[in-house]
Structure 1
Amino acid sequence: MIGAVLIIGGGVGGMVASLDLANIGYKVYLVESSPSIGGKMSQLDKTFPTLDCSMCTLAPRMVDLSRHPSIELLAYSEVESVKGKEGDFRVKVRNKARYIDDNCTGCGECSEVCPVEVPNEYEVGCGFRKIIYRPFPQAVPSIFTIDMDHCRKCYKCLDACKDIKAINFSQKDEIIEINVGAIIDTVGFSLFDVSKVEEYGYKIYPNVITGLELERLINASGFTGGEIYRADNREVPKKIAFIQCVGSRDIHNGVPYCSRVCCMYAIKQAILVKEHHPEIECTIFYIDIRAFGKGYEEFYDRAVEEYGIKFVRGRAAEIYKKGDNHIVRYEDTISGKAGEYECDMAILANAILPNNEKMAEILRLELDEYGFIKSKGLPMETERKGVYVAGVAQDVRDITDTVAMSCGAAALAAGDLASERGKLVKPKEFPLEKDVSSEEARIGVFVCHCGSNIAAVIDTKVLAEYAKTLKNVVYATDTMYACSEEGINNIRTAVVEHNLNRVIVAACTPRTHEPLFRETIQEVGLNPYLFEFANIREHCSWVHKDYPKEANEKAKDIIKSAVARATLLEPQKPEKMPVTQKAIVIGGGVAGMEASYQIARGGFEVHLIEKKEKLGGIFNEMYHLFPDLDPKEIVREKIDKINSNKKIKVHLNTRLEDLSGFVGNFDATLSDGSAISAGAVVLATGGNEWKPNIYGYGQPNVYTQLELQRLIAEDKISDKEKIVMIQCAGSREKYRRYCSRICCSEAIKNAIDIKKKWPHTEIYVLYRDIRTFSHQAEEMYLEAGKLGVLFIRFDLNERPEVKDDTVSINDTLLREKFTIKADKVILSAAIVPDDEYESLSKMLRIPLSSDGFFLEAHLKLRPLDFTSDGFFLCGTAQSPKDYVDTMCQAVGVASRVSILLSKEEIEAEGITSMVNEDLCIGCGICESVCPFMAIKVVEKDGRKKAEVTNVKCKGCGVCASSCTMRAITMRHFTDDQLIAEERAILEA
């Protein structure tokens, strides 16, 4: 058994799995075929539905991965062969020749002198790159690569690199042999060649482009610097058409399945276009809008209500040129009219295709008819033991679901190798911290261009020169991307060469990047709290983009105030606390059971708390599960696994009554009076089917889909009945905006079950959009139609009417009103949060989102974490999910928990409050307002005084701002520091 894992594919899935496993305590080899990690996510401008900058969330993780001591990054490499078995695989990896040695500093001078340009793959062929190149400025590793297929061997690059001598034309491919205990395949995907759909004119008409090409066009770091213009005349378009399902849901030209992400990224792109140019008209031509994820339906609504984006239901038939513009021919299936839409640009949403053939052959894995890797058991498991899969290699997924599944694959690999945890790794070591307390401040200021996000509005070179004039600033410079590997190295070098003892980065937001820069200065001997962030992107270049003069002046003021505060910064010494290596899992449904089992597999004790008399949750009420699973058998198997693992203690008929403590050290009181301790708490509390108060529910012939399952199982349907199913019953309404995600698939699955058992039944599915977003669900949708299930579309403003045994509906496609005499009416009722979510939220001080489900730390990259350390979530606790996605999260959360529990001790936040007991009168206001229960009033020498538990304190400052006696001060935000900052601004 070898405590190392091979991960194939360096996109977001491979990166997440690598970091999780390395942080749990395993050696990781990450193999990426291209010169840099980052995958498709690195090419995106923003991510939906939060519109976070994609690179801003990704780049810090790329750098974290590159400098993690337990991760060996093998970029520009390919797996050649895999031999062996679970626990002991022997792998050969071809490290392709870059013709650049590892001593490359990434300065770029070689690229500047290279005379040859070719289409840039990173810019999807729209821009150009040199023969000697780095894919993008934040690339990791930041080493350049020579494209020998196009190199003319002029050797100008050799002259440019004569000092470093990193260019090596004699370099050859190298075969590396590694031994690992497990393998995770996260190879990602490719995109459908839309030129195969000849009627759209891609590559014929220059203004017909793909969605990924538009991402690069919009991106401030892209080939146009974020300027949106037509390719033929470089003019800003007046009208843009977005054409959906190009190659997806197309049995003739493409693939029959839905590509899952296209609706949402088209909506996102239309919103971004409108934010750049509100005057541009954006029209999206679609079949069904599949806004099924958390926050997605609300995002769709915003596109319509706030941005005025138009939606036309119907697949575009053709795009042809008319003068300087294009005509989109279409049929609006709602109005029934054929139309022609004149536009300046057309954006094609091309299908996502698996990219598995080569690796499936090497790993000896079976593919399905579309080329996805077949799962066995859990979604991450393959037919070969010890080999796991995540992301689009298994099925089409968005970033959120890919991240959760990648965590799940990491958890399974970690469980296999639990006995070897920590044996091949060593903790990261930092140099001895310099004592700078007696030194005068020597401040370095680094002004980031952030591509053109900042530099398009603010003159960063002028700003750097201004910083040099400020007191205590001994070094200042501008840098293209401070967060890139090259930028980080430049900061380290400057600290050493200029003996800096304070560092300021003027860039974007500390929310995503501050930990990265703190660790950077710690690597060269400075206390991490001697770092200061000046946000000149959100506060200047973004909000004042139309007023560059004023934005530049404001940026100067922000840097001046940052320098004044940095001068007074002091080192902080965070406390260290031991970790109780046990977990509490709340909720004994399938998610809670699987999470408990996987955490226990990793070697940690688990207390599983279930409020009912038996495990299984809502699955105990189900009889048949999409696509073809037996829920009762699933429950039996999971209970057997729970019972077989001695590390799991089950508490039935039990609730959590109280929880105190902090991350790594929680003390829980249960309703049976017992007390337990744990280091982590997982919420797997599930959801419920809503009991409707609409569509006649309560009448003897009106049921929910869950109740219909029981009728099918008990043969309580006759062969000639008429059954009407009404979708979105309680979902996608003003009072409940979200889509319940599983209803379309469940309705279609139930309809197929009925038609197969009673073929003469008439089934009508009344819907607004059919959201069968997995390839299995889309197959079932097609099968249902072949079996004779009729689908009738309705609009929200003309809902079906149920009266006794009749259902009236206005069919928007046929534009006729029908009345159906129904023997049974089945409501696809909303999935709603459990009744106890609100009380748990208050008890645990963890947030709920606007839809009533628990609010994760970050929808895309931290979907299984809370912002409060030590708390985690999975399954329907986060939002409605089907069984597959629930299992991905349930297994994935075990990985997140294991990162915490694998540590002997943890370090608390250094920014905490401190109480001056001479001023404190023990009034208790601070205790009442603290959201983290970090401060409380205690008796000291017969007098009441406030006392802070530093490991619970998050440094929010609420207590300090509430104290009437000014007895509380925040470390790192002292009165002197804040006053200095304010004076600097007022003096400006």
Structure 2
Amino acid sequence: MSEKVRGSENIRIGVYVCHCGLNIAGVINVKELVEYAKTLPNVVVAKEYIFMCSSPGQNLIKEDIEQCKLNRIVIAACGPEMHEPTFRAAVSEAGLNPFLIDLIAIREGSSWVHYDDPKRATEKAKDMIRMSVARVRNLEPLEKIKGEVKHEALVVGGGVAGLTAALDLANRGFDVHLVEKRPTLGGHTAMMGVLNWEGRRLSGREIVRTLIKMVKDNPKIKVYTNSEVVKVDGSIGNFKITVMRKPRYVNERCNLCGKCEEVCPVSVPDEYEYGIKKRKAIYLPYSGAYPERYVIDPNSCTFCGKCVEVCPVNAIDLNEKEGEISLNVGAIVMTLGHDEYEPAIGEYGYGLSKNVITLSQLKRYLSDDGPTKGELLVNGTKPKNIVFISCVGSLGTTPHANQYCSRTCCMAALSEMLHLKSKYPDANIFYVHKDIRVYGRDEKLYWEAIDNLIKFVRFDEPPKVSIDGNKTFVDVYESTLQERILIPADLVVLVTGMTPIKEVDAVRSLFKVGCGGDGFLKELHLKLNPVESLTGGIFLAGTATGPKSVAESIIAGSAAAVKASILLAKDHIEVEPLIAEVDESKCSGCGICVSICPFNAISMQKREDGTRYSKIDPLLCEGCGTCVAACPSAAIQQYGYKDKQIIPQILAVFGR
């Protein structure tokens, strides 16, 4: 911090009292206040003006700084959140360090709250000015902290939100590194089958392929699939990232002939078909996947080498090793996606009968590119009675369920019911639900379902699913009719919700971002800053922050890209210097400050002798003072609010 102070050999303070029209002067005796200020130590001038924030008011202060050689300023007016920047700019123009002023809110703190007692309001205002003078006497000149901004971005996650964010950033001229942990791009949208997209059914993979083509064709985007971020250092504007690229074992020479898949002796459930069919240990995730080549699953592969023997282009290398890549970026967009709630074995009969499936599995059955090419057969015949059970894994309906609503499930279920009704018009379809939540344009799905004679059965207590051989029954107490209903079901569809990814705690710790009570990543402010995290320079999008539709995820990806691009467009950033700093010689390394910092600005470092001490990143610190108050060793001080500045201010309350 700079130590240059104009006239630092003698503290010369100017006090300025604002009338604020009648907001202050209508209650407080301003003239009496000015005369009192003149009696305080080091005060060489005290004046009043009707509106100190006006140009004449600012000029009054600037002229006195020049003529009276002032080097500290106290302004008794409104709250600092409104006009502190105004007065800092004014004193800077006069050659005074902008952090050698104190703006005290005698309007909010005295005249407004004591409007019915002018005498006591005036006396309180005197106390506030006396305290402020005691503090500014010990203020030090400070300078804003500058940080370099790298003009590159990291996007974590290759689903629709991540693809959108990467494209929008690249189209604004920034280099983008897109990291996806799966072997292919597309995320859950590539797995979920057909979507209701503005009134028409559209394949999720069709949406994904469109976005992927644009990503492939954009030279500004570098894609890293089968890769994970393993280390994050630095801070806003200058993050140092380490990415671990896992071996794919199949290189770009692959011509998709499929001979390797034919000879592979290992079969495992296909996650891209939600387990309703099997794939080999060497496989193509789905038609049109990117990268457009096979991949080996090392967790199921026996490395027998048969695929190597039949590959006509020598594209398979079973000895490929993982490798690290270092990146230096200015901003990070996290689009981690979500997991799907997995019902427990026996929950609503799940896992006990092939006639009980999830909504995601149903979507794959009904997809033209699904394992049955869009046909739905139960025990070889078309199902007659189909029962959907809502809120599986949500709204606390079972002991295993989450407490929150997953938002998009009802609309997705209604869409599939309508499709089933059009495909199998003789089918009886029941929606056994706790609540129905549809919003926006998708409310029309509810009314279409009623028009198509979908039967709605409401429950308060979860229904019971019983299985007797090939027969399945749903037993539910209908809370509206107040009677028990037993529904014979050829097929039971469990409408499952979204959950945070299993690795959310590790990711949260790695990137130093917050987490909500539901386990999803927490935005800075749900309404005002929905795509910003608690950590500067890191932005959130898609279902990383909670359940969203595909359209909402795409919108969030674009929003995060806009926010990130505002940062990336700068050559450097400036932050307020009113931050905390650790005296390493006093720090005991207890780590209390690290655990309580709400902005993840503090980290533990090691001394040469192996002992620990804490260090504060000045670009992340927001100057809240929490660590200062909590430090048991008094090793942390905050600029502008050091002990030598605060203690005299406190003592001044008592006239000392």
TM-score normalized with structure 2 length: 0.71
**1:590 Cα offset (Å):** 0.9
> How far apart in 2 are the matches of 1:539 and 1:706?
58
CA RMSD of aligned residues (A): 4.0
8 Å contact kept, 2:457–2:478: yes
> How far apart in 2 are the matches of 1:692 and 1:543?
57
Corresponding position of 1:722:
385
8 Å contact kept, 1:927–1:935: no
8 Å contact kept, 1:926–1:962: no
- Cα deviation per residue 1:80-134 (whole Å; 9 max; x = unaligned)? xxxxxxxxxxxxxxxxxxxxxxxxxxxxxxxxxxxxxxxxxxxxxxxxxxxxxxx
AA in 1 matched with 2:15: I
Alpha-carbon distance change, 742 to 970 in structure 1, aligned in 2, over 3 angstroms: same
AA in 2 matched with 1:461: V
Corresponding position of 1:442:
14
2:496 aligned with 1:829? yes
Counterpart of 1:800 (choices 457, 460, 463) is 463
2:571 aligned with 1:904? yes
> How far apart in 2 are the matches of 1:954 and 1:825?
52
> How far apart in 1 are the matches of 2:525 and 2:76?
24
Alpha-carbon distance change, 561 to 858 in structure 1, aligned in 2, over 3 angstroms: farther
> How far apart in 1 are the matches of 2:168 and 2:348?
42
Alpha-carbon distance change, 539 to 849 in structure 1, aligned in 2, over 3 angstroms: farther
Corresponding position of 1:951:
619
> How does 1:33-432 map onto structure 2 within 5 Å?
none
**1:535 Cα offset (Å):** 7.0
> How far apart in 2 are the matches of 1:476 and 1:867?
41
Alpha-carbon distance change, 460 to 619 in structure 1, aligned in 2, over 3 angstroms: farther
Corresponding position of 2:357:
703
8 Å contact kept, 1:922–1:937: no
- Cα deviation per residue 1:509-540 (whole Å; 9 max; x = unaligned)? x7xx37x6325532552644345465789999
Counterpart of 2:209 (choices 636, 640, 663) is 636
> How far apart in 2 are the matches of 1:555 and 1:803?
75
> How far apart in 1 are the matches of 2:631 and 2:340?
46
Corresponding position of 2:396:
733
SS of alignment partner, residue 546 of structure 2: coil
8 Å contact kept, 1:474–1:498: no
SS of alignment partner, residue 99 of structure 2: helix
> How far apart in 2 are the matches of 1:690 and 1:550?
62
Counterpart of 2:27 (choices 452, 461, 474) is 461
SS of alignment partner, residue 411 of structure 2: helix
**1:601 Cα offset (Å):** 0.9
8 Å contact kept, 1:448–1:505: no
> How far apart in 2 are the matches of 1:546 and 1:960?
38
AA in 2 matched with 1:649: K
- Cα deviation per residue 1:309-349 (whole Å; 9 max; x = unaligned)? xxxxxxxxxxxxxxxxxxxxxxxxxxxxxxxxxxxxxxxxx
**1:720 Cα offset (Å):** 4.9
**1:545 Cα offset (Å):** 12
- Cα deviation per residue 1:151-173 (whole Å; 9 max; x = unaligned)? xxxxxxxxxxxxxxxxxxxxxxx
- Cα deviation per residue 1:480-508 (whole Å; 9 max; x = unaligned)? xx9xxxx6768746644765853557666
**1:949 Cα offset (Å):** 4.9
**1:549 Cα offset (Å):** 11
> How does 1:619-630 map onto structure 2 within 5 Å?
619-627=189-197, 628=200, 629-630=202-203
> How far apart in 2 are the matches of 1:851 and 1:490?
53
2:555 aligned with 1:888? yes
Corresponding position of 1:974:
642
Corresponding position of 2:544:
877
Alpha-carbon distance change, 739 to 529 in structure 1, aligned in 2, over 3 angstroms: farther
2:366 aligned with 1:712? yes
8 Å contact kept, 1:461–1:477: no
Corresponding position of 2:149:
579
Alpha-carbon distance change, 810 to 637 in structure 1, aligned in 2, over 3 angstroms: same
> How far apart in 2 are the matches of 1:964 and 1:934?
16
Alpha-carbon distance change, 544 to 938 in structure 1, aligned in 2, over 3 angstroms: farther
SS of alignment partner, residue 723 of structure 1: strand
AA in 1 matched with 2:203: D
> How far apart in 2 are the matches of 1:815 and 1:519?
66
> Which protein has greater RCO, CA pairs closer than 8 Å, 6+ apart?
2
Structure 1: state its 5+ residue gaps: 1-432
Corresponding position of 1:229:
none
> How far apart in 1 are the matches of 2:389 and 2:626?
49
- Cα deviation per residue 1:53-82 (whole Å; 9 max; x = unaligned)? xxxxxxxxxxxxxxxxxxxxxxxxxxxxxx
Corresponding position of 2:436:
770
SS of alignment partner, residue 695 of structure 1: helix
**1:987 Cα offset (Å):** 4.7
> How far apart in 1 are the matches of 2:560 and 2:545?
12
8 Å contact kept, 2:165–2:560: yes
Structure 2: state its 5+ residue gaps: 246-323
SS of alignment partner, residue 726 of structure 1: strand
> How far apart in 2 are the matches of 1:547 and 1:834?
58
Number of corresponding residues: 535
8 Å contact kept, 2:28–2:119: no
8 Å contact kept, 2:365–2:376: yes
**1:562 Cα offset (Å):** 4.5
Tell me the percent identity: 34
8 Å contact kept, 2:594–2:602: no
Counterpart of 1:838 (choices 505, 510, 529) is 505
Alpha-carbon distance change, 563 to 903 in structure 1, aligned in 2, over 3 angstroms: same
8 Å contact kept, 2:152–2:328: yes
Counterpart of 2:226 (choices 628, 635, 653) is 653
Corresponding position of 1:853:
520
- Cα deviation per residue 1:712-735 (whole Å; 9 max; x = unaligned)? 223124655222222222323397
Counterpart of 2:170 (choices 600, 609, 617) is 600
Corresponding position of 2:309:
none
Corresponding position of 1:225:
none
8 Å contact kept, 1:504–1:562: no
AA in 2 matched with 1:793: R
AA in 2 matched with 1:617: G
Alpha-carbon distance change, 467 to 610 in structure 1, aligned in 2, over 3 angstroms: farther
Counterpart of 1:669 (choices 242, 261, 279) is 242
AA in 2 matched with 1:819: L
Counterpart of 1:820 (choices 487, 490, 493) is 487
2:318 aligned with 1:748? no
> How far apart in 2 are the matches of 1:546 and 1:736?
52
> How far apart in 1 are the matches of 2:122 and 2:402?
44
- Cα deviation per residue 1:637-695 (whole Å; 9 max; x = unaligned)? 11111111111111111111111111111111122322111111111101122113443
2:182 aligned with 1:612? yes
After alignment, is 802-811 or 849-858 more displaced? 802-811
> How far apart in 2 are the matches of 1:555 and 1:824?
75
**1:771 Cα offset (Å):** 2.1
8 Å contact kept, 2:131–2:650: yes
Corresponding position of 1:692:
343
> How far apart in 2 are the matches of 1:565 and 1:947?
27
8 Å contact kept, 2:605–2:613: yes
> How far apart in 1 are the matches of 2:59 and 2:498?
54
Alpha-carbon distance change, 803 to 466 in structure 1, aligned in 2, over 3 angstroms: farther
Alpha-carbon distance change, 942 to 690 in structure 1, aligned in 2, over 3 angstroms: closer
8 Å contact kept, 1:464–1:478: no
> How far apart in 2 are the matches of 1:566 and 1:770?
60
Counterpart of 1:863 (choices 513, 530, 538) is 530
